[in-house]
């Protein structure tokens, strides 16, 4: 059947299983919107800013595991998507971003609302396309979805000029994709797995270091089985939280700059580290020269470039983490069945238990000021077991990571790699669109929440009952913390000064708002907020100069934690 | 250490800039780069001469392989490839130096492709080291202009890149 390009785009999205998209109209996508007007199979949500639309698609993707889709017009619409795209790229989130472009005949002429978005997003997409002929549109979209979701996932941008949206062609959606230049390795090499298991079984101080790859690869079950089967202690990165239940005694919690003492000590003292779907980011390793000095490192990752990028690796296994962990379980069964494997981890697990006991994550409680950690603990206590938490970026993000206790994958949505302020609220919006019946909470600071606060309107309009928790210290708290510790308390431009009335703000958007500065009101407000049917702002005016601790100062070794300052 | 890398790519829109921005974005150096279509439909071949230690080379190779349009990356270790470069050299040639330039051209099996009373323009081909050598001899006589193509390389032996 003959169709125009705009219709072909929608038909392709439908065939890829897209049920929700986030988009903002404009001159070069008006033809797509015209088709969308009568196209009932895809729910279109209109954010109030393109950046938020992309974050929402990202939140949708992280919560569901499906490819998130966002749409924006050319020029400023396209440039507004860049922060969202870079955020998804750093955290390997599968997304397809569609942008309109000026007609092909005008490309390069500095036309109205023209920008070279393919050039701009080249370094922050997994791949991108400019569609020059309507005949290429369907095959390119097929490739875009395939590239976005396979191998190490990531965002793919497709730039569609206006005349391509108008031009007609026969619609034929390809069933399969074959690309000679793109064939990700997904199956781990059995011989490498065998060697790895021999190393793990011989280890006296093993630790499993888990990253976001385990969540993305849907391998939590395999990871949990393997760790429990072999009594392997597990620490996760921020992105890995939820991949292994933190309620399990084998869990060490998060490692790194604001990680748990026991996790950082276990890494430093370990003799075998099994890194799974993690990339040895500088926030995790601390000073590379002194990182895990005694450990042999096994590194499992679907992306070969992650291996040996930052640290030496003794045994690399390239492959999909689910496949490799599955093979590891069978290999462990095989090797232990053969006998002759003598393992006694009681000394090591005892050492870890002592670290946990002597240096737990803690804070000084207060009767007069609200402690942010207390709010997070109350949120855990009062929220549903399958609640989805989206954070913004900063102190509140680290407190959430430290104190919420994540037990299920895809329940924490957070900008780990790029650290994008303004991410939390729109990401929660995307997750709520995917799961209308689940509790979706965003924990924000008073700084970041104001970077995409306009999305309150989208929440109210679309009946997305996101619960917005604002930990308000009237500071850009994380930078203030650094200024306190490393810059002699010279609080340069980190005090937000003007207090915002968040209750009135919520009401202005037609939502409900609560606010308190009293610790004994925290619980009641959370209960009331959760009981509300629509979106809610819950503002907690917290102890202003509370710090995130422990902290490994930038450039210091992982075991040189500041515990009290 | 210098490395010569061949990169086989889909001849797609923007592929050159993907490769080049990978090098600049990650702080790798490019000493020379050539690119042209191959005998296979839709496929181009780049030859990149770059430098760095073993770790950097490993990252460069992996990152290139990660690009969606890259079909194959071949890192030619020493001796496994033949490399050639072409140079066009405009050199001052007056009075007694005219004969000297011609002698050098002869020794290096180069060619004079343009002549004026005051200059010769020379075409020289060979390994980059050979080009360096002829330049060294011509430089004292007065180099006016130099264009080098950068190296191209092909593996030794009967096998093609597909094996």
Percentage of residues in chain B having pLDDT higher than 90: 85
What pLDDT score was predicted for residue A564?
83
DSSP state of A390: E
| Partner-chain contact A303 B21, CB within 8 Å | no
pLDDT digits (tens, 9 = 90+) for A203-254: 999 999 999 999 999 999 999 999 999 999 999 999 999 999 999 999 999 9
B16 touches chain A (CB under 8 A): no
Picking from A562, A372, A403, the residue whose alpha carbon sits closest to that of residue A471 is: A372
Q: From B63, which residue of chain A is nearest by alpha-carbon distance?
A: A305
What pLDDT score was predicted for residue A454?
98
Query: 3-state class of A65 per DSSP?
Result: coil
What residues in B contact A181, CB-CB < 8 Å?
A: 9-10, 68-71
Q: From B11, which residue of chain A is nearest by alpha-carbon distance?
A: A181
Query: 3-state class of A449 per DSSP?
Result: helix
Mean pLDDT across the stretch A129-140? 98
pLDDT at A378 over 90: yes
Query: 3-state class of A481 per DSSP?
Result: helix
The residues with which A235 forms a beta bridge, in sequence order, are A209, A253
Q: Annotated catalytic sites of A, by residue?
A: 50, 112-113, 162, 478
What residues in B contact A308, CB-CB < 8 Å?
A: 55, 58-59
Q: What is the mean pLDDT of chain B?
A: 94
Q: Which of A132, A180, A305 sits opposite B71 (nearest CB)?
A: A180
What residues in B contact A127, CB-CB < 8 Å?
A: 68-69
Total-model pTM: 0.96
The residues with which B10 forms a beta bridge, in sequence order, are B43
Interface A:B, Cβ pairs < 8 A: 39
User: Using an 8 Å Cβ cutoff, are A161 and A29 in contact?
Assistant: no
What pLDDT score was predicted for residue A565?
66
Q: Could you tell me the pLDDT band of residue B89, with boundaries at 50, 70 and 90?
A: very high
pLDDT digits (tens, 9 = 90+) for B107-140: 999 999 999 999 999 999 999 999 999 999 999 9
Mean pLDDT across the stretch A267-279? 98
pLDDT digits (tens, 9 = 90+) for A406-443: 999 999 999 999 999 999 999 999 999 999 999 999 99
Sign of the Cα pseudo-torsion (A34, A35, A36, A39, in order): positive
Residues 6+ apart with CB under 8 A from A255: A209, A235, A236, A237, A263, A264, A267, A284, A558
pLDDT digits (tens, 9 = 90+) for A259-272: 999 999 999 999 99
| Partner-chain contact A304 B66, CB within 8 Å | yes
Sign of the Cα pseudo-torsion (A381, A382, A384, A386, in order): negative
Taking the C-alpha atoms of residue A186 and residue A301, their distance in angstroms, rounded to an integer, is: 9
| Partner-chain contact A123 B21, CB within 8 Å | yes
Query: DSSP states of A248-303 as a string?
Result: STTEEEE-STT--HHHHHHHHH-SEEEEES----HHHHBSGGGSSTT-EEEEEES-
Which pairing describes strands B111-116 and A206-210: parallel, antiparallel, or unpaired?
A: unpaired
| Partner-chain contact B59 A305, CB within 8 Å | yes
| Partner-chain contact A126 B55, CB within 8 Å | no
A190 touches chain B (CB under 8 A): no
What separation in angstroms does the CA of A10 have from each of A28, A29, A565?
16, 12, 56
Taking the C-alpha atoms of residue A409 and residue B90, their distance in angstroms, rounded to an integer, is: 67
What pLDDT score was predicted for residue B85?
97
Residues 6+ apart with CB under 8 A from A350: none
Token pair 């309107």 is found at: A457
A289 touches chain B (CB under 8 A): no
Token reading at A120: 């701009």
Backbone angles phi, psi at A552, to 5 degrees: -95, 110
Taking the C-alpha atoms of residue B128 and residue B59, their distance in angstroms, rounded to an integer, is: 25
Taking the C-alpha atoms of residue A267 and residue A273, their distance in angstroms, rounded to an integer, is: 7
Q: Could you tell me the pLDDT band of residue A339, with boundaries at 50, 70 and 90?
A: confident
User: Using an 8 Å Cβ cutoff, are A129 and A157 in contact?
Assistant: yes
| Partner-chain contact A303 B66, CB within 8 Å | yes
Q: What is the mean pLDDT of chain A?
A: 97
pLDDT at B79 over 80: no
Mean pLDDT across the stretch A70-97? 98
């Amino acid at each position: 059947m003959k169709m125009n390009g705009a219709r072909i785009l929608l038909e392709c999205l439908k065939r890829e299983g897209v049920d929700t998209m986030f988009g903002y109209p404009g001159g070069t996508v008006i033809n797509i919107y015209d088709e969308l007007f009568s196209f009932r199979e895809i729910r279109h949500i209109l954010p109030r800013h393109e950046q938020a639309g992309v974050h929402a698609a990202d939140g949708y993707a992280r919560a569901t595991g499906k490819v998130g889709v966002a749409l924006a017009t050319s020029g400023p619409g396209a440039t507004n998507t860049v922060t969202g795209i870079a955020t998804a790229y750093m955290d390997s989130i599968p997304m397809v971003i569609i942008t309109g472009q000026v007609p092909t005949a005008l490309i390069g002429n500095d036309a109205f609302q023209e920008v070279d978005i393919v050039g701009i997003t080249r370094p922050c997409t997994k791949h991108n396309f400019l569609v020059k002929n309507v005949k290429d549109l369907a095959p390119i979209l097929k490739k875009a979805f395939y590239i976005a979701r396979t191998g190490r996932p990531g965002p793919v941008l497709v730039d569609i000029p206006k005349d391509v949206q108008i031009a007609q062609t026969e619609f034929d959606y390809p069933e399969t994709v074959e690309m000679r230049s793109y064939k990700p390795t997904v199956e781990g090499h059995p011989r490498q797995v065998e060697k790895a298991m021999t190393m793990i079984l011989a280890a006296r101080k093993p630790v499993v270091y888990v990253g976001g790859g385990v969540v993305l690869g849907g391998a939590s079950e395999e990871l949990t089985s393997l760790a429990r089967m072999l009594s392997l202690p597990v620490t996760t990165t921020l992105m890995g939280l939820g991949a292994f239940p933190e309620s399990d005694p084998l869990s060490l919690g998060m490692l790194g700059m604001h990680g748990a003492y026991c996790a950082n000590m276990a890494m430093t003292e370990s003799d075998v580290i099994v890194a799974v779907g993690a990339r040895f980011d500088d926030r995790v390793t601390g000073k590379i020269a002194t990182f895990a000095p005694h450990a042999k490192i096994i590194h499992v990752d679907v992306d070969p470039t992650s291996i040996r990028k930052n640290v030496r690796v003794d045994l690399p296994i390239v492959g999909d983490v689910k496949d490799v962990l599955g093979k590891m379980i069978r290999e462990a069964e095989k090797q232990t069945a053969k006998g002759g494997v003598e393992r006694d981890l009681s000394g090591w697990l005892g050492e870890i238990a002592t670290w946990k006991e002597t240096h737990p994550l803690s804070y000084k409680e207060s009767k007069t000021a609200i402690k942010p950690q207390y709010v997070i603990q109350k949120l855990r206590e009062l929220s549903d077991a399958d609640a989805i938490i989206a954070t913004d970026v900063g102190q509140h993000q680290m407190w959430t990571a430290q104190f919420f206790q994540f037990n299920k994958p895809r329940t924490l949505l957070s900008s780990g790699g790029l650290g994008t302020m303004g991410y939390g609220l729109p990401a929660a919006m995307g997750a709520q669109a995917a799961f209308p019946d689940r509790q979706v909470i965003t924990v924000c600071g008073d700084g970041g929440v104001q970077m995409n606060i306009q999305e309150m309107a989208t929440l109210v309009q679309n009946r997305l009952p996101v619960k917005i928790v604002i930990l308000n210290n009237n500071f850009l708290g994380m930078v203030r913390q650094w200024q306190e510790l490393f810059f002699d308390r010279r609080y340069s431009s980190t005090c937000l000064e003007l207090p915002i009335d968040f209750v009135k703000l919520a009401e202005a958007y037609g939502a409900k708002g609560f606010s308190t500065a009293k610790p004994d009101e925290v619980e009641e407000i959370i209960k009331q907020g959760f009981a509300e049917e629509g979106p809610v702002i819950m503002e907690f005016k917290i102890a202003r100069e509370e710090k995130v601790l422990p902290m490994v100062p930038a450039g210091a070794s992982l075991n040189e934690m500041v515990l009290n300052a | 250490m210098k490395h010569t890398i061949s990169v086989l790519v889909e001849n797609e829109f923007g592929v050159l800039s993907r490769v080049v921005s990978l090098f600049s974005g990650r702080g790798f150096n490019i000493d020379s780069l050539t690119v042209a279509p191959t005998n296979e439909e839709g496929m181009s071949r780049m030859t990149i001469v770059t430098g760095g230690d073993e770790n950097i080379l490993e990252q460069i190779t992996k990152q290139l392989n990660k690009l969606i349009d890259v079909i194959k990356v071949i890192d030619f270790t020493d001796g496994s490839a033949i490399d050639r470069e072409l140079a066009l050299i405009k050199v001052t040639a007056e009075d007694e130096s005219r004969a000297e330039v011609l002698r050098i051209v002869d020794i290096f099996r180069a060619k004079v492709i343009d002549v004026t009373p005051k200059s010769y323009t020379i075409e020289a081909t060979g390994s980059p080291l050979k080009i360096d050598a002829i330049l060294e001899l011509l430089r004292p006589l007065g180099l006016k202009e130099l264009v080098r193509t950068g190296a191209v390389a092909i593996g030794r032996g009967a096998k093609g890149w597909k094996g």
